[in-house]
Amino acid sequence: MDLSVNRSRWRRRAQTSKPLFLLSISIVLFSLFLVLSLSSYRPFLNPKTLIPKSTQCRPQTLTLDPSERFLWYAPHSGFSNQLAELRNALLLSAILNRTLIVPPVLDHHSVALGSCPKFRVTGPSELRAAVWDHIMQLADERRYVSMADIVDLSSVASMVKLIDFRVFASVWCGLNMEKACYGSLCCAISGIGSLPSNTNQCRSMLSGMHGNSNSCVYALEEDCRTTVWTYQQDDDAILDAFQPDEELRRKKKISYVRKRRDIYKAFGPGSIADGAAILVFGSLFSSPYKGSELYIDIHQAPRDLRIQSLLRKIEFLPFAPEIISAGEKFSVNKIKESYLCAQLRLLDGQFKNHWKATFAALEQKIKLLQLELKEKKVHGPLHIFIMTDLPTANWTGTYLADLAKDVNSYKFYTLQDSDELVIQTAKKLMAAEHGLRSGFLPKNLDVNWNRVCDPVLLPDVLLYIEETICSCASMGFVGTAGSTIAESIELIIKNNICKL
């Protein structure tokens, strides 16, 4: 009896609640439909509320011109490669009349591209996402330093509009970037945002992982496997001289065809990309290869005097004044004599297998100098500044150890990251806040200029000071063949930056 009564009651309840159940299912399905329908539209993050003004990608704040357009890219590999990419980024920003978002210095090889000659590279979207992740890591670990903190961009500031990544992330993404700050200016500006939980939304947008977003972001998927960018060379859509050879096509099943494309025609006025607020590239690294360039072949612009002038300026971008001053100070106060600089890259990549050739070049240079000194009847030890990645404790059994033992003939000088000169230079460099001051700064936002942040860790500036010291070597320079560091030093020497 009781069981049957209970069953009838359950049936009655089920019958009376059926319309409500169907209504609940309908609401859930409709909500799911809205989510799926809107997932393809990802409006760019508003600087404060992250609620888009409209389908247009424009910030609501008055600190930026609503018509302002930006250029972002994915730096990678070592510092020398990142510097080469920065030069190309400045060039493309000027050609396309966009404001360049200046990135930080990435850890050495924290993000790798791959090999363009072998047509084996990381895709642009994946590369951009990896760069974003590493930048956030640098900020979280308080190790952020802008490329414009290290490299002096004052010579191009009147020709290319700039904005520091921290300012951009604060104003556009609504992110609080105070962990990436050292000085008071950065602290005040980077504290504008307060929504760190929306990092993934900005990451997705700038990486182009979900394609282009209306008039907000145009993310390129072209890279060195398919494209060589040119400007005013009348060669748009023509096949490039360098193509994968038959053996590579067969072994790796490569079907890429490299074409030369005019950057202005592709992304300038009248193009789809021109309407996007942010134009996003992948890698901008390029170098000569087999009669062509790997990715960007813009060395002359005779029909555009403004760009021609910029090309001359970006051929060499000096270090910040604090770094140059430190190198000169070491030369004058520590070495005090005419000296030779030897840059010996021995542990990284391909260089660890070429010790013999590297030491042979140094030995030949020393012998030539000794002959010159003998002819001039100059007595005393030969002063040599050693710049190497091989720790002193590991010199045993090497040519360096043999030279160091002969104290009557040679006097060595080295610089360590723990030396007071290096530490004080890093402090002065970060306090100057060149990265922020070289670009756009918001002026109309209600910011707390008295705000104090915990400062980031001091950057490692040893490499840059060492390069400057080498450029001051009056007895010459001998570098490691194929090293981009050696090439950088030779460029500094060529531009006569050291004024001793």
For residues 293 and 229, give the distance between their C-alpha atoms in angstroms, rounded to a whole number: 9
pLDDT digits (tens, 9 = 90+) for 43-94: 333 333 333 333 345 553 445 676 789 999 999 999 999 999 999 999 999 9
For residues 276 and 133, give the distance between their C-alpha atoms in angstroms, rounded to a whole number: 23
At 40, list the tokens: 């393809």
pLDDT < 70: residue spans in the chain: 1-64, 66, 191-198, 214, 443-449
At 268, list the tokens: 């300038």
To the nearest whole number, what is the mean pLDDT of the chain?
86
Q: Is the pTM of this model over 0.75?
A: yes
In the prediction, which pLDDT does 240 show?
Answer: 96
CB 355 within 8 A of CB 401: no
What is the DSSP annotation of 415-478?
Answer: --TTSHHHHHHHHHHHHHTHHHHTS----SS---TT---PPPPPP--HHHHHHHHHHT-TT-EE
> What domains can be seen in the chain, in order of their start residue?
70-314 (no CATH), 321-417+460-494 (3.40.50)
pLDDT digits (tens, 9 = 90+) for 165-214: 999 998 888 888 989 999 888 888 876 655 555 688 889 889 988 777 76
For residues 494 and 489, give the distance between their C-alpha atoms in angstroms, rounded to a whole number: 9
* CB hemisphere CA count around 353 (13 angstroms): 2
For residues 368 and 381, give the distance between their C-alpha atoms in angstroms, rounded to a whole number: 14
CB 280 within 8 A of CB 211: no
CA dihedral sign, ordered 422, 427, 428, 432: positive
pLDDT digits (tens, 9 = 90+) for 116-141: 999 999 999 999 999 999 999 999 99
Residues 6 or more apart whose CB falls under 8 angstroms from that of 152 comprise: 317, 318, 319, 320, 321, 434
